[in-house]
Amino acid sequence: MKVQLRIKRFDPEHQPGAWWSEHQLEAEPSDRILDLLNRVKWEQDGSLTYRRSCAHGICGSDAMQINGTNQLACKSLVKDMGPQIAIEPLRAMRVIKDLVVDLEPFFGMYRKMQPYLINDEILPADGKERLQSQTQHLRYEDTTKCILCACCTSSCPSFWASQEYIGPQAIVQAHRFLFDSRDRATAERLRLAGDVMGVWRCHTIFNCTRACPRSIKITQAIGEVKRAIAMGGVD
């Protein structure tokens, strides 16, 4: 099928403002949007700039707006997008060049949440694994799937309003450790998540949940963190 691709471009080295490039391509319905971007770069315009790596939805490099919604270009297919496809960088993040945005603030929010297991207790005497029941594992399993692609955070209206807001991704990290039976930093995690720029900025709009390419139930996870703060601890 014939596809018209419109890509929002920005290269301050050459031109101060953004502009749109247009590309006509013959595509298969099963082609990924990333395949189209690669073809533009390799066959038409080598200066087109975007991040990409695994090309099958697990590395999180190629998050962008495709026809107005945040998606991974490698997990979004032509047949679901139709013959007119508009591509823009993620919203509310500083654009460095074309579809590449500055992710440092995003990873800063990630680091702020102490995204690692905290448990300084003595390890099991037999030297083996800590025990965790299947039910305990299921309690936090969903939020372990996060690939840090930024689809959720940059789809959130609260984040559009203020980039000081830690955003859904950072709360997903908080959830992943708060509800892990092995973690011992509950009080500190609740304090961080409950900050003035924390969970209470979430107004349950569900954009993050819809945007997540890993199908994490983000709004639900945020709700569970809010409840834990209100209750003063996890159940």
Partner 1 sequence: MTQHHEFDAVIVGAGGAGLQAALTASGLIQVAVLTKMYPTRSHTGAAQGGIAAPLGNMEEDRWEWYMYDTVKGGDYLVDQDAAEILARESVQAVYDLEHMGLPFDRTPEGRIEQRRFGGHTRDFGAAPVMRSCKSADHTGHMILQTLYQNCIRQNVRFFDEFFVVDILIHDQVARGVVAIEIATGEMHIFHSKAVLVASGGFGRMFAVTSNALALTGEPVASLYRRGLPLEDMEFFQFHPTGIYKMGILLSEAARGEGGVLLNDRGERFLERYVPTLKDLAPRDLLSRFIYQEIQEGRGIGGKDYVYLDIRPETINHYQSAPGGRTVTAEELEQKLPDIIEMMRVYQGLEPMKEPVPVHPTAHYAMGGIPTDVHGTVRIGPNRLALGLYAAGECACVSVHGANRLGTNSLMDLIVFGRRAGSAMAEFCKRADFPALPPQPEAEVVAELERIRGGRGKERAGPIRAELQRTMTDRVGVQRQEEGLREARDKLRELRERYQSVSIQDRGVRFNTDLLETFELGGLLDLAQVTAASALARRESRGAHFRGDFPGRDDQNWLKHTLAYRTDGVGAAPTRGEVRFEWRPVVINRFEPKARKY
Binding site for partner 1 (CB under 8 A): 11-14, 30, 32, 38, 41-43, 45-47, 49-61, 75, 77, 79, 96-97, 100, 103, 107, 111, 114-117, 123, 127-134, 136-137, 140-141, 144-145, 147-148, 177, 180, 182-183
In angstroms, what is the minimal distance from the CB of 217 to partner 1?
14
In angstroms, what is the minimal distance from the CB of 5 to partner 1?
17
In angstroms, what is the minimal distance from the CB of 157 to partner 1?
26
Element of type H or E holding 59: none
Q: Which is nearer to partner 1, 49 or 67 (CB)?
A: 49
Q: Which is nearer to partner 1, 69 or 132 (CB)?
A: 132
In angstroms, what is the minimal distance from the CB of 129 to partner 1?
4
- Distance (Å, whole) CA 25 – CA 98: 19
- The rounded radius of gyration (Å) of the Cα atoms in the chain is 20
Which amino acid, residue 117?
Answer: L
In angstroms, what is the minimal distance from the CB of 12 to partner 1?
8
DSSP state of 77: B
Q: Which is nearer to partner 1, 67 or 144 (CB)?
A: 144
- With b for 16 or more beta-carbon neighbours within 10 A and e for fewer, the 59-75 pattern comes to bbbbbbbbbeebbbbbb
Helix, coil or strand: residue 88: strand
Largest CA distance in the chain: 65
Q: Which is nearer to partner 1, 128 or 203 (CB)?
A: 128
Report yes or no: 203 and 168 within 8 Å, Cβ to Cβ: no
In angstroms, what is the minimal distance from the CB of 80 to partner 1?
10
Question: What are the backbone dihedrals phi and psi of residue 76, each rounded to the nearest 5 degrees, phi first?
Answer: -115, 125
Q: Which is nearer to partner 1, 11 or 195 (CB)?
A: 11
Q: Which is nearer to partner 1, 13 or 232 (CB)?
A: 13
Parallel, antiparallel, or unpaired: how do β-strands 63-66 and 69-72 relate? antiparallel
Helix, coil or strand: residue 145: helix
